Amino acid sequence: MRKNSILAAFDKLSPLLTEMCEKAGIPGFTLQLVFEDGDHRTLTEGTKRKGFNEPPDENTIFMIGSCSKSFTGVCAALLAQAGKLDLNRPVSDFLPYKLERNGEEVKLIHLLSNSSGLPNMGLSEIVSGKHLYGKIPGIYAEKYPFDDGGTIATFMQGADAEMVGAPGKQFIYSNEGFSLAAHILAQASGKAYPDLVDELIFTPLGMKSSGYRPQDFPAGSDFSCGHLADGRLAGVYYEPAIAGAGGVLSSVADMGKYVQALLCEGNLGGKRVFPRSVIHELEIGRIPHQTAATLVGEGFGQELYSLGLMIYPDFLGTRVITHGGSTGNFSSSIFYNRELGFGIAVLANGGNGEGIFALFAFMVVAQALGKDPFSVFSTFKMEKEFRSLEGIYTSRGDAIVVKISFHQGQLWWESLDGNGNSPQGTYPLNTSDPTCRRFGFVNGPGAESQVEFFSGEDGLMRLHKDRNVLVRGRDRHTA
């Protein structure tokens, strides 16, 4: 019964996902919907390379960005379970220096839960600048250590001067923290970090299209091409600096196996691949954050961070576990809900799909539970209201013609008639009206105008501005 509800919700909302990706300029994506019984469904849209008819499939390889953090968390929990690592040891036990604030040392568990007090120190910007734009920004053009045998430990020398809080006290998202954690895991295991992940995760799960380095992939592997926000091509890259924070490349077939193993508490295909206790360790909510609430708005409930996973303990009475990723040219999301018995993995070749995919998965849960997703999330509810007002509005005889459109999170007024009867140009419509019917904007000369939308007796939407009433859908060129 649960599976049927999920499939029905997925089928109903999939067209919306495709529409959102098109509007976000994402050329293509692959998605796998997995179930606790081992079943799965794959959805692919678009192209591997803009301008070419080359649809991706479940074996096409993408960069997954920060979804890689969960792999770091799994490896840490597995090493701890095996007695090879104590997650509560200070990082100074593994480094030639301390990271501390007010006498409190950063521990490995702090790095893995984004609660070390270390802020973002520009590592992701350095990497994207190098690989996507051909230039390392700022002083790091001289100090970038990875081309001459340096490590993330070299880069983080003196980083305690940058700390903005005591360890374990607050959530601060830190790519540097996860990259440093991977370095420590490699030291503790005596293996190169990519080899460690392969041994503990990729090989047990049969993830044959996943890795960190060119040599990790078979000859002839099918790679998607990444795309920047402006549509320019920006292919995959390999970067040791971000291995623990965002270095994995994978296919949705592989990521589907990974999500299914997490969903089934360490089981895959009837075989135990991870101890159940390791999965439970991964899912302990350790530090509060407000990622979804800040980016999207209310409706998600409490948000907690664990070892590379975001925990939502009470989303409509169910427990949701997720994480997203973006590299600037690719994006991804993993998501599972054990009460409903399903998970989702999505990979895309555009850098702004992370939030879209997570929201889609939350909407599937809401729909499956009999809720209207647009009512659950206030942002979507407002967008739905705004989009209901889009269209071309005209006065009698087309003397005044205005286009109302929705983009960048709000409505816009654009004069089309060129007759000087309405403000020329494009202006944002602002509102604090909960009914989303009354708006204001400041036109070019600086005058403030009020706009009110209402439905006429004939069922056609109208807008009232100053002394004019314009009608949407009026037959054009009528006397």
Q: What is the pLDDT of residues 226-271, one digit of tens each?
A: 999 888 999 999 988 889 999 999 999 999 999 999 999 999 999 9
**By three-state DSSP, how is residue 218 classified?**
coil
Higher-pLDDT residue of 407 and 402 is 402
- pLDDT band at 304, cuts 50/70/90? very high
Which of 373, 400, 419 is the last residue before a domain boundary? 373
State what percent of residues in the chain have pLDDT above 90: 66
- pLDDT band at 479, cuts 50/70/90? very low
Question: First-to-last CA distance in the chain?
Answer: 58
DSSP 83: T
Higher-pLDDT residue of 128 and 254 is 254
Judgement on whether residues 412 and 363 belong to the same structural domain of the protein: no
Convert the pLDDT of each residue in 77-89 to its tens digit. 999 999 999 999 9
Give the span between the Cα atoms of 322 and 145, in whole angstroms. 32
Instruction: Report which residue type is found at 282.
Output: L
Beta carbons of 449 and 466 less than 8 angstroms apart: yes
Number of compact structural domains in the chain: 2
Judgement on whether residues 49 and 191 belong to the same structural domain of the protein: yes
Give the span between the Cα atoms of 427 and 442, in whole angstroms. 7
Judgement on whether residues 241 and 151 belong to the same structural domain of the protein: yes
**By three-state DSSP, how is residue 278 classified?**
helix
Within a domain: 379: no
Judgement on whether residues 339 and 409 belong to the same structural domain of the protein: no
Within a domain: 331: yes
Q: Which residue's entry shows tokens 């973002």?
A: 120
Give the span between the Cα atoms of 421 and 468, in whole angstroms. 10
Q: Is residue 423's pLDDT more than 80?
A: no
Q: Which residues form the domain of 443?
A: 388-472
Judgement on whether residues 168 and 304 belong to the same structural domain of the protein: yes
Task: Please count the CA atoms within 13 angstroms of the CA of 12 that sit on its side-chain side.
Answer: 15
Within a domain: 145: yes
**By three-state DSSP, how is residue 154 classified?**
helix
> In CATH, what number is assigned to the domain containing residue 413?
2.40.128
DSSP 459: S
Q: For residue 148, what pLDDT is reported?
A: 59
Contacts of 326 by beta carbon, 8 Å cutoff, 6+ apart: 65, 66, 332, 351, 352, 353, 354
Instruction: Provide the token pair at 139.
Output: 């002083």
Contacts of 268 by beta carbon, 8 Å cutoff, 6+ apart: 205, 257, 260, 261
> In CATH, what number is assigned to the domain containing residue 195?
3.40.710.10
Within a domain: 13: yes
Give the span between the Cα atoms of 232 and 249, in whole angstroms. 20
Q: For residue 444, what pLDDT is reported?
A: 60
Lowest-confidence pick of 207-221, 234-248, 434-448: 434-448
Judgement on whether residues 399 and 358 belong to the same structural domain of the protein: no
Lowest-confidence pick of 220-234, 253-267, 320-334, 414-428: 414-428
Task: Please count the CA atoms within 13 angstroms of the CA of 280 that sit on its side-chain side.
Answer: 4
Within a domain: 479: no
Beta-strand pair 28-35/342-348: antiparallel
Within a domain: 415: yes
Judgement on whether residues 191 and 253 belong to the same structural domain of the protein: yes
In degrees and rounded to multiples of 5, residue 323 shows phi and psi of -165, 150
Q: Which residue's entry shows tokens 């592989």?
A: 254
Judgement on whether residues 53 and 9 belong to the same structural domain of the protein: yes
Within a domain: 172: yes
Judgement on whether residues 409 and 346 belong to the same structural domain of the protein: no
Judgement on whether residues 211 and 276 belong to the same structural domain of the protein: yes
Compute the average pLDDT of residues 340-361. Answer: 94
Q: For residue 136, what pLDDT is reported?
A: 73
Compute the average pLDDT of residues 364-383. Answer: 85
Contacts of 110 by beta carbon, 8 Å cutoff, 6+ apart: 116, 117, 167, 168, 177
Q: For residue 478, what pLDDT is reported?
A: 44
Judgement on whether residues 356 and 431 belong to the same structural domain of the protein: no
**pTM of the shown model:** 0.84
- pLDDT band at 427, cuts 50/70/90? confident
Judgement on whether residues 36 and 87 belong to the same structural domain of the protein: yes
Within a domain: 131: yes
Which of 350, 373, 396 is the last residue before a domain boundary? 373
Give the span between the Cα atoms of 67 and 244, in whole angstroms. 10
